[in-house]
Structure 1
Amino acid sequence: MKPIHCALALLLLLLASSHLQATMAAASAFCGGKCKVRCSKASVMDRCLKYCGMCCMDCHCVPSGTYGHKDECPCYRDKTTGVGKRRRPKCP
């Protein structure tokens, strides 16, 4: 491979990774704020924040308020812990 092609490929990779980091930072800031409100009355705050954050990153939304309103965010509402009898909602 010619040096110019290597340099171009490296530059393209660098630009793509910086864009991805900026996108993830914006999403995590959005999710952090929304989940902080959502979990403000939770009895186990750290667990609530963990699962809310995971659901928010997947669904790109968090229902308003501290409880309920899950119809505002169908993806968030429909996430479950698995298959079988012990299947439970994943998102707080």
Structure 2
Amino acid sequence: MSYLAEVTGNVSVIGYGIAALGPGIGVGLVFAAYIQATARQPESASLTRVYMFMGFAVIEALALLGLVVAFAL
């Protein structure tokens, strides 16, 4: 009997791959919003840059939490 595909290894890697989609999309949205805000009002770039980095840090914390859970299970 031959198998067309065989899954070996830890299945949590697949779960983390799916869980990484959310933070990936979130980071894209945060940087897109920053670029759009800077394009509309260039003088406020220094103010919105702080919020961009804060949003990026929160989203990346979620991604790292997903990585920890993937390795813990």
**Normalised by the size of structure 2, how large is the TM-score?**
0.45
**In proportion to residue count, which structure has more helix?**
2
Higher relative contact order (CA 8 A, sep 6+): 2
